Structure 1
């Protein structure tokens, strides 16, 4: 079990770029994100089509691909901030060239549909950051904890997270490589070259606007496909913006706990990651230690 290569941490004055590889975004969030990043002492560039629009997307496939590839190729760029998620990244992942990126690795930051890029980058051997994007950087206060954690990680100060207990948690301690993200996106890449290895993985999952039976179906896919058997730990994050219709006969977390009861590794529920304000930045590809006790859940980065 080896952690993936972490891109170099940032210093004041470093160049970063904001790109929009998937859904189109309100210009105000691009402006707000740039101001926030500049307040951290960073030199911020905007990709040519960051604010473009083509249907539901931030530009055509050709435009979005060109922006992301240019950011990956630029040896002066130290981090690539995705402005938002929204369906569309899948158009790009088989078209990107990593030749220059491998020579000058950089942090890729985002979540939701950006999970597909995280999978791709990890397949290439590099870590990336599942973290808040443009809207969060714009609307949250200057002392917002998640923005603070994101800044700290980028500048090399790795946090340890301690979260509240949940009655369904499975107690235990495990070390592994942290991987995961949006469940539907992760599920959509199963069986492709962009799927992630289960062995030695501490998997984290979250989703938005998915009905409980659809979430259960995706977890059953992981179970029947042997993924759950090979994990070292499981972090169940936030599932939001759905109606709790009790179609599973009980609340979602309780239904998932029943499905997962045969596994003996640590499992925690209600971890603060997902489409919520308290969306803790997580380093995909880093070695971590997950400790679940009767009193708390602790996650520490070992890299």
Structure 2
């Protein structure tokens, strides 16, 4: 396994830049995210086009590229919060330069459509943070678990946030029991499926893959899973975390529920598989470090995901 570079963790007074690389966003969520981050003692700067609108996007391609590139190149910034997902990050993937970023790495934060940027950052050797974005930071209370874990990770306290520095969730009847170590990678299934066969594809070897999605019909999800199977990805994984699939109709068009259909696709593999992990388009969307070495332990009563050294 090739370890990815962790950007420096944050301290009070550090600079965070909010950008909108994908769809346009309600300005109230930008305001709320700023207030939340400032309550942590951080200095927050808004990208020039963070609140812009161009069709369904937060600005034209060139505007969104400029905002993200300037944030990446900023020598003082320690984190970049993507305001929301939606669609549009793929427009930026082949247009960003990592020369300045490599001299001053910083945490990229976001999920959903931001998966495309996570893949890009990992391709360039840097870990990033799959985590809630502006809406969550605005509408959830101060003591929200995921918000607090995001803060813990950004400030480098994630190893002491609980006994293992990771997460636990109840066992699921479809789980494959076992233990594995690997590099945690993944995100929105449709988004990284769109990068299959490109230089920005997720490498399978040594990977513990996590997947989630929203609004995709069951047969579409199954088709994407078969792509991973037939492409040789599933057989080379070290472990698989199946998160939340939301906002779809469970009509049993596959002859069974979605999780059951996915279980059939992966039943031949002997690595640990976890179903119903708390990651996805839900309030309980735990922050995960894309590119971190982790240990996945799927037991008869619970699942543990712990960060390695």
For the aligned pair, the TM-score class normalised by the smaller chain equals over 0.9
Q: Are the counterparts in 2 of residues 289 and 300 from structure 1 also a CA contact under 8 Å?
A: yes
Q: Are the counterparts in 2 of residues 121 and 128 from structure 1 also a CA contact under 8 Å?
A: yes
The CA distance in 2 between the partners of 1:32 and 1:192, in whole Å, is: 36
Structure 1 position 15 matched with structure 2 position 21 = no
Give how far 1:222 is off. Answer: 0.1
Post-superposition, which runs of at least 4 consecutive aligned residues in structure 1 deviate over 3 A? none
| 2:85 match: secondary structure | coil
Structure 1 position 75 matched with structure 2 position 81 = no
Matches within 5 A, 1:146-165: 146-158=146-158, 159-165=165-171
For this pair of structures, how many residues does the alignment match?
Answer: 303
Query: Structure 1: which 5+ residue stretches go unaligned?
Result: none
The CA distance in 2 between the partners of 1:51 and 1:204, in whole Å, is: 31
| 1:299 match: secondary structure | strand
Q: TM-score, normalised by structure 2?
A: 0.97
Give how far 1:3 is off. Answer: 2.0
**Deviation by residue 1:114-165 (Cα, 9 ceiling, x = unmatched):** 0000000000000000000000000000000000000000000123101111
**Deviation by residue 1:86-132 (Cα, 9 ceiling, x = unmatched):** 11001111000100000000000000000000000000000000000
| 1:136 match: secondary structure | helix
2:217 paired residue number: 211
2:307 paired residue number: 301
The CA distance in 2 between the partners of 1:280 and 1:136, in whole Å, is: 12
1:258 paired residue number: 264
1:268 paired residue number: 274
The CA distance in 1 between the partners of 2:211 and 2:251, in whole Å, is: 21
The CA distance in 1 between the partners of 2:306 and 2:140, in whole Å, is: 25
Counterpart among 235, 243, 250 of residue 244 in structure 1? 250
The CA distance in 2 between the partners of 1:196 and 1:257, in whole Å, is: 21
Structure 1 position 230 matched with structure 2 position 236 = yes
Q: TM-score, normalised by structure 1?
A: 0.99
Give how far 1:2 is off. Answer: 2.7
Give how far 1:44 is off. Answer: 0.3
